[in-house]
Chain A
Amino acid sequence: MTGERWPLTPRERERYERQIPLLGEEGQERLLHSSVCIAGAGGLGSPVAFYLAAAGIGRIRIIDSDRVSRSNLNRQIIHAEADIGRSKVDSAARRLEALNPDIEVDPRPLHLTEENVVNVVRGMNLVVDALDNYPARYILNRAACMHTVPLVHAAVNGYCGQVMAIIPRKTACLQCAIPHPPEETPPPVLGTTAGILGCIQANEAIRILLGEGTVMGDALHVWDGRAGTWDMIPVKRDPACRACGAGGKG
C-alpha cells in the first residue's frame, strides 16, 4: 500500500464510526480501497461476505457456479428460502447490496478452473478460500502464490474446522500444509462451525488488508466445537512444494 489517502465521506464516517476508533480513518480508507475475491458462496463464504461487506471492503468479487437449494440453508446464511433456484452469487450480491450499498459487489457465476483462475485473482488485494473441494482449492492456492496475493483458507466438517493464512513467499502455502487431500465425501456440517471459521477468515482478511499481518501463518488452526478447543498444527514451507516452491514454477 502507498501512503495515498482517500478522505472518507460524511456517510462513510457515520457508517463505520464504531470501528474507526479501532482502525483509524486511514485504516478505514484502506479497506474501502481494497479488493477481495471470495471463492465460494456457501457455508464459509456466507459469513466471510457479510462481515467483509459490513466492514466496508470496497470491492468484493464473489465466485460460485451453484444455485441455491433448500439443503444449503442450514448453514449458507447469506441465502434465504426465496432464493432457492437462484444463482448463489446473485443471491449473495443482493444480500450484500442490501447490507451495504456503498461498496461494489462483482458476482461471477463460474466454476474455478486453471484457465479462468488468473482473471479471478488478478488485481485482488486478497483472496478467501471458501471452497468445498481440494482440486479447486489447489488451483486457487497456486494462482495466489504465483501472483503473490495473500490467501485465507478454511475448511469445515461437522463440529470441526481449520483455518490458515497464506502470505506468498513468506509462509507455507495450502499445498505445503496439506500435500495429500482428504477424501471428498459431502461432510455433515453445522452452520455454526462454518460461521465460526468464516468469521475468523474475515477477521484475518481485514488484518492483512490493514497491513497488520497475520498470526495465522505457518500453522493450521483447528477448531473443535464439541471439545470447545483451538489447536495449532505447525506447518513449514516445503522447498519442493509444487505450488509455491521449487517443485512448481520455481
Chain B
Amino acid sequence: MKESVRVRAFARFRELFGGTIEMDLPWPATVRSVIRELEKINPAGLAELVDNEGNLKKSVILMINRERIMGPAREDCPLRPGDEIAFYPPVAGG
C-alpha cells in the first residue's frame, strides 16, 4: 500500500531536491522513508542532508505540519497520510 505526503525543501535543499515534492511512499512510513526518496532524486545531494550514518544532520531543521521535530531519532518519526514534511538548513555566513 502507498500513501502520499508533501515534502518541502527550503533554501539550499530546494536547489538540491526541488521546492515542493508530492511523494508516494510505501506505508507505513517514517521520515526515513522520505530521506530514501530524496536520495533517489539527488544521490550526491544527500550528503548535505544526512551524516555518515544516514541520520539527519543535527543542524537541519525538520518540521512536520509546521511543527518543529527536535531530539534524537527524528528520522524514525512516523508519518500520517497527507503530512507536510519540511527541511531547512540554517545558514552561517555574514
Tell me if chain B binds chain A: yes
Check A1 for interface membership: any CB of B closer than 8 A: no
Contact of B91 with A161 in the complex, beta carbons under 8 Å: yes
**B11: nearest residue on chain A (CB-CB)?**
A160
Number of cross-chain contacts by CB at 8 Å: 89
Which residues on the B side are within 8 Å of A154 (C-beta)? 94
| 9 CB < 8 A contacts A-B | A42-B94, A133-B92, A156-B91, A161-B91, A162-B91, A183-B92, A186-B93, A194-B94, A222-B11
Check B14 for interface membership: any CB of A closer than 8 A: yes
**Size band of the B side of the interface?**
20 to 34
Contact of B94 with A155 in the complex, beta carbons under 8 Å: yes
Which residues on the B side are within 8 Å of A236 (C-beta)? 68
Stretch from B21-29, B31-39, B59-67, B76-84 forming part of the interface with A: B59-67
Tell me if B's interface is mostly helix, strand, loop or mixed: loop
Check A180 for interface membership: any CB of B closer than 8 A: yes
Contact of B90 with A181 in the complex, beta carbons under 8 Å: yes
Which residues on the B side are within 8 Å of A134 (C-beta)? 92
Give A contacts to B, CB under 8 Å: 40, 42-45, 130-134, 154-158, 160-162, 177-184, 186-187, 189, 194, 220, 222, 224, 226-227, 231, 233-236
